[in-house]
Every structure is written in C-alpha cells, then in structure tokens.
C-alpha cells in the first residue's frame, strides 16, 4: 500500500471520527437540556409547594390568607402586612414560573395548570390591593401578563376556597 492510499484511508477515518464526535456532542447537549428542564420543573414545583406548606401548616396564617383574599378590610393592619408579605412571596414564585415558561424551560402543560392557581389568586380582592401597591416590584413582562389576563377564562370555579 502506498502513502497516498494510507492518507486516503486516514482521511476517511478522520472524517468518520469527527462525525461521530459531533453526534456524541449533540446527544450530550440534548441530555443536558433535558436535565435542565427537569431541574427547573422540580425547583419551580418545590417553591410553590413550599408556599402552600407555609400557609397550610400554620392555622393563624391560613386564617389571615383566607380572610385577606376576599375581605382584606377585615384584617388588622398587622395582619394585612403579614398577608401582603406572604402574597408578595407567592407572586414572586409565580413570576419565576412565568419566566421559566417564557424561556422554554417548562412546557405549556406545566404552565397552564399553575397559571390557573395564579389567576385565581390574582383576581381576589386582597391580592388586587397588594398588586396595586407593589406591582412595580415585578418584571414588566409579568405585570403585562397579569394585567392583560382578564381575557383568559379561568377554569377554576368561583366556589373554590383555596
């Protein structure tokens, strides 16, 4: 075999190895993207579950939130302050989910289910009072979404309590 043939065979193997490397890298990138989406889903779900656990594990806080949603004027000033801080945390967590959805890191199925909870709470009188006072603390995109959400029909019945 002459050197020209050896060079041609080496070129073919080199091209093959480069092609295999590119395929391997593409598979690794795809796996990494899947892992990122999975981690984002987990962290978003954990943050929202933590919020529910915080409210649900304390009878006094549960009472304040329940009253605050529908009749915030029935709360004392200190209770409304506590309600407001809890709702700001609630909104901040949903703002993160909204951002992750906008970024493509959580899918429509995930977002739509959580959007229902967000819109139900957002449309409560107490949340509207908190939002009016503090909306500028949130991203412009999130503000536009919430304030433009009136045309999104919530599937949640009005009789829902939590």
Q: What is the pLDDT along the chain (162 residues), one digit of tens a residue?
A: 677 776 766 676 567 665 556 555 555 555 555 666 667 666 767 777 888 888 999 999 999 999 999 999 999 999 999 999 999 999 999 999 999 999 998 889 889 888 988 999 999 999 999 999 999 999 999 999 999 988 877 666 566 666
- Give the other-Cβ count within 10 Å of 120's Cβ: 18
pLDDT of residue 143: 96
- Direct distance between the N- and C-terminal alpha carbons of the chain, in angstroms, rounded to an integer: 81
Structure token digits, residue 48: 């929202």
pLDDT of residue 40: 65
- Give the other-Cβ count within 10 Å of 114's Cβ: 19
Round to whole Å and give the CA distance between 108 and 17.
39
Q: 3-10: long-range contacts at Cβ-Cβ below 8 A with a sequence spacing of 24 or more?
A: none
- Domain range annotation of the chain: 38-151
């Amino acid at each position: 075999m002459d050197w020209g043939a050896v060079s041609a065979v080496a070129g073919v193997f080199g091209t093959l190895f480069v092609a295999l490397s590119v395929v391997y890298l593409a598979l690794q990138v795809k796996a990494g993207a899947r892992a990122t989406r999975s981690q984002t889903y987990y962290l978003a779900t954990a943050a929202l579950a933590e919020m529910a656990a915080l409210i649900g594990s304390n009878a006094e806080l549960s009472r304040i939130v329940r009253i605050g949603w529908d009749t915030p004027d029935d709360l004392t000033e200190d209770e409304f302050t506590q309600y407001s801080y809890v709702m700001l945390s609630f909104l901040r967590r949903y703002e993160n989910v909204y951002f992750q959805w906008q970024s493509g890191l959580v899918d429509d199925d995930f977002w739509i289910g959580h959007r229902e909870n967000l819109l139900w709470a957002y449309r409560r009188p107490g949340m509207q009072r908190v939002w009016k006072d503090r909306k500028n603390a949130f991203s412009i995109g999130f503000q536009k979404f919430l304030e433009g959400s009136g045309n999104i029909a919530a599937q949640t019945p009005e009789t829902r309590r939590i």
